[in-house]
Amino acid sequence: MRRLFSLACVAGLIVLGSLVLESLGPIARAQKGTAVPRQQPAPIASSAPCSTCVNPTVITALPFTAPTSGYYCLQGDLSAPPGMTGIEIDAVRVVIDLNGFSIDGTFGVGDGIKSTRSESTVVNGLVVNWKGSGVITTGAGSKVEHVAVKACGQDGIALGIEAVVRSCRVSNVQGSGISTSVLSKVLCCTVDGARRGILVSEGCIVEDCIVRDAFDGNGIDAFIDSQIRGCYVANSAFDGIHADGQSTIVDCRVLFGSGVGIVAKDGVQVLDCFVTGTDGTGIMLGDYCRAQGSVVQDTGGWGIGSGLGAQILECTAAGNLMGGIHATEGSRVVECIVSGPDPMDCPAGPTNGIEVGDNCVVVECVSNGHGMAGIYATGSSNRIEENHVFDNDVGIGIGTTNGPAEDNLIVKNSANGNTTDYDVSGNNSIGPTITDDYWILSENAWNNFHLDF
């Protein structure tokens, strides 16, 4: 009897545990070790009945004007009659739900969806073949989400201040793919074939976007105090990413293009980015900028160039045809790796690895494979310390391009495999070069080293 009672208790606990796990849903199943499917975003074109709100107004033909606040939706594809416009919003707080359908302006005129009022929302569908813009609003607080815009004569999506553009795709438009005014967000969008890719005003965020083939402008263009994060830009006619002062560019990739990869105006930070194959310089910094943890390779210009007072930290520049890193007055180049291009690929002739002007610091860098100098100072009062240079024509050189370069300090560096390790003359301070294999003592701790002992 006791055994039967124990078995009944165990069975009851198993049933109770199953009920509890079922009530907890995905969390409990995950804790048991069962994989929980990752929730996927809703597709752009998934049509459904207009049942997401009470008493929606159904748009049955174009042109259409939304005269009052509320929810409007499509129940089928619509085309504009010859010479007619699309949808016009004439009230605040209007939602246009395309409901997975399209509005086609092949025979129409003007814009697909237009609003001058605030808090306009457009979602879920396709806007195609309009002579003007696909979606254009000038009021504050507009949203466009899960909308595709194709083949329009002006901008794809153009919104006013404090706007949000999310999970949209724009292709084959003659103006900007996506443009917004101040304090707006462009998130998880794709622009493929536009005059300019994404253009935002000051204080905006552009995140997780893809821009390809901006055929007459920059890929992403942001005014001051903006953030560009996690974006991919390829084949821009001008610059890949162009950001004005006090902006931040983080974890972005720029591939190919006819201009500069990333243009960072004064005070911009460029962090953990990758640039390759652009015709111009990979990353061009303005005054008082910071580039850190970024990689630039195989560009037609310098890998990284800077204005005054820049910090270039922990970056890699390889195979760039004009040279690795070029820094002007008062800049710091620290813990960078610079490798030269194949000499056969340099139509402009041999290059320098790291080139600095006046009052710069070059510390703990590695530079190799350059037809000129691994590290080269054109100006005065630079500190070049604890670097390693190898397989260059000159390891470390002090030039006279802008007159006599004086008062430079060159200490604690190491060199090997260069035609000339240290080419320093004039009124400069350089530690003696150790060329013999003997113990390093305190009295020669500031010396430079030749490692071919």
DSSP-assigned letter for residue 387 = -
Q: Which long-range contacts (CB under 8 A, 24 or more apart) does 314-323 make?
A: 315/291, 317/282, 319/345, 320/281, 320/282, 320/296, 320/351, 321/345, 321/346, 321/347, 321/348, 321/351, 322/281, 322/348, 322/351, 323/351, 323/352, 323/353, 323/355, 323/370
Q: Would you call 6 helix, strand, or coil by DSSP? A: helix
Separation in Å, CA 354 to CA 308, 369, 400: 16, 12, 16
The tokens for 157 are 């999506």
Domain boundaries, the chain: 11-39
pLDDT of residue 438: 58
Among the listed residues 87, 88, 59, the one whose alpha carbon sits nearest the alpha carbon of residue 73 = 59
Show the 3-state SS of 109-140. CCCCEEECCCCCEEEEEEEECCCCCCEEECCC
pLDDT of residue 40: 35
Separation in Å, CA 219 to CA 261, 285, 341: 10, 17, 27
Beta bridge partners of 148: 126, 169
Q: What is the C-alpha radius of gyration for the chain, rounded to an integer number of angstroms?
A: 30
The tokens for 368 are 């190799």
pLDDT of residue 232: 98
Q: What sign results for the dihedral spanned by CA atoms 42, 44, 50, 53?
A: positive
351/330 Cα distance (integer angstroms): 22
405/377 Cα distance (integer angstroms): 8
Which single residue is written with the structure tokens 């707080």? Answer: 93
Task: Report yes or no: 306 and 326 within 8 Å, Cβ to Cβ.
Answer: yes
Q: What sign results for the dihedral spanned by CA atoms 397, 370, 351, 324?
A: negative
26/178 Cα distance (integer angstroms): 38
Going from the first residue of the chain to its last (453 residues), give the mean pLDDT of each consecutive group of 10, the final group possibly shorter.
38 38 35 33 45 78 97 97 96 98 96 98 98 97 98 98 98 98 98 98 98 98 98 98 97 98 98 98 98 97 98 98 97 98 72 96 97 95 98 92 82 95 91 73 75 69
pLDDT of residue 436: 66
pLDDT of residue 304: 98
